[in-house]
Amino acid sequence: MKLFLKALLLSVVIFGCDSSEPDAGNAFQIYLDFWNTTGRNPEIRFDEIKTSKEIKIDFSQTFEGQTEGNQLTKVVIDNFKIVDNQNNNYNIGAIKAYEFRNNNWKEDVEFTMDFTQTQDVGVVVLVLDRSESLGNDFSKIKEYAMNFIDQTFTTHPEVKMGIVDFSTDVHTYPISNDREALKSYISNLKSDRFTALYQAMDEGVEMLLRYPAQSRILVTFTDGTDNMSDQNYYNVENILAKIKNDKNTNKIRGFFIGLEGKGGLETGLPSKLASSGWIVSIPTSATQVKDVFEKFGRLISNVYHLTYIRNQQVIPRTTPVKLRFDIQALR
């Protein structure tokens, strides 16, 4: 049974280093209950309390038990990543599966575990502030944005990108797979006086809504407070509502960089976005913005698909098998 839930911030579990528990360090766990009342109808239940909070699962994708052939069943988690509270995105090195038996966690070598890195980045729209409050830092921000484009295309050559740039006016560069043209457009941007942040974010959302893709990502950079948009139409509540009401099952994923610069960030905006599932970072210098763009580039890339295969043993719903997937990962 698929679970259509929002991505959750999950609790950390730290274990000792005996033979039945994961090693210390960059170790993360996913906990599930598994049952199969007829042998042909496997189901799973997510344990959000025990699962490591760094595990981010997209429950709008496949998250279910499945039957395979006449002898096997599968647990499939189609879209997840590992992100800590510093926005570090981890690369998975290995995954082991354990079942809780006789009051201990046991690895069953007869059951198999597989994971792959998915290529789910379809369309990215970059919303870029060019207001004059950036001052001499604007040239650095353009450089970091162009590096972000290079990073994204290098990791996902089939990706398409668009640009929304804003200050007094909002301009767009249409969604394209021409890496050099996108970089050239950013290189030629000129700063201007005011900050039409919400209008630009709204246009970025509209661009993604008009473009069918399995994965759509909005990355916004600003250093200021909106002082130009008509807020009867352009405001954070309307932007988030458009994303929520999108009929596409794969909702737009939001990333926000708010530089604490001369402009002063919109009060409450980062927390509103974060509470709606956006990945938010608030660097305090232009140099730190470079690191955040690089981290966000990794965040949209390190997405994984997990499959656990076991037999068709009948397991009552009232006494489900406890599963634990131990993940060893590197930043």
Between residues 300 and 55, the one the model is more confident about: 55
* Cα 197 to Cα 201: distance, rounded to the nearest angstrom: 6
pLDDT (0 to 100) of residue 236: 94
Q: Is residue 13 part of a domain?
A: no
Question: Percent of the chain, pLDDT > 90?
Answer: 65
| Overall average pLDDT of the 110-114 stretch | 91
109 plus 139 within the same structural domain: no
pLDDT of residue 83: 82
Overall pTM > 0.75? no
Q: Are residues 219 and 247 in the same domain?
A: yes
Q: Cα(279)–Cα(245) distance, rounded to whole angstroms?
A: 20
Q: Would you say residue 5 lies in a domain?
A: no
Q: Is the pLDDT of residue 48 over 80?
A: yes
Residue-wise burial string across 240-263, b where 16 or more C-beta atoms lie within 10 A, e elsewhere = bebbeeeeeebbbbbbbbbbebeb
91 is a domain residue: yes
Q: Which residue has the higher pLDDT, 318 or 18?
A: 318
Asked whether residue 300 carries a pLDDT value surpassing 80, the answer given is no
Q: Do residues 324 and 228 share a domain?
A: no
Q: 270 and 148 in one domain?
A: yes
Range of the domain at 321: 27-118+303-330
Which CATH number do you get for residue 217?
3.40.50.410
Whether residues 42 and 172 fall in one domain: no
Radius of gyration, alpha carbons of the chain: 22
Mean pLDDT on 273-279: 87
Specify whether 79 is located in the same domain as 133: no
Q: Would 89 be classed as within a structural domain? A: yes
Name the band, by pLDDT with cuts 50, 70 and 90, for residue 87: low
Mean pLDDT calculated for residue range 199-211 = 96
Two tokens at 109? 């070598």
Domain assignment present for residue 178? The answer is yes
Tally of domains within the chain: 2
Q: Residues 304, 92: contact at Cβ < 8 Å?
A: yes
Q: Is 183 part of any domain?
A: yes
Residues 322 and 264 in one domain: no
Q: Are residues 287 and 319 part of one domain?
A: no
What's the mean pLDDT in 169-174?
Answer: 97
- Do 41 and 64 sit in the same domain of this protein? yes
Alpha helix locations (H) across the chain? 138-155, 179-187, 197-209, 236-244, 269-275, 286-299
- Between CA 83 and CA 127 the distance in angstroms is 23
Domain match, 147 and 243 both: yes
Q: Is residue 16 part of a domain?
A: no
What b/e readout covers 15-37, taking b as 16+ CB neighbours within 10 angstroms? eeeeeebbeeebbbbbbbbbbbe
Q: Are residues 90 and 200 located together in one domain of the fold?
A: no
Please check the confidence at residue 57 and state whether its pLDDT lies above 60.
yes
Domain identity same for 316 and 285: no
List, for residues 3-13, the tens digit of each pLDDT value: 333 333 222 22
The reply to whether 22 falls in a domain is no
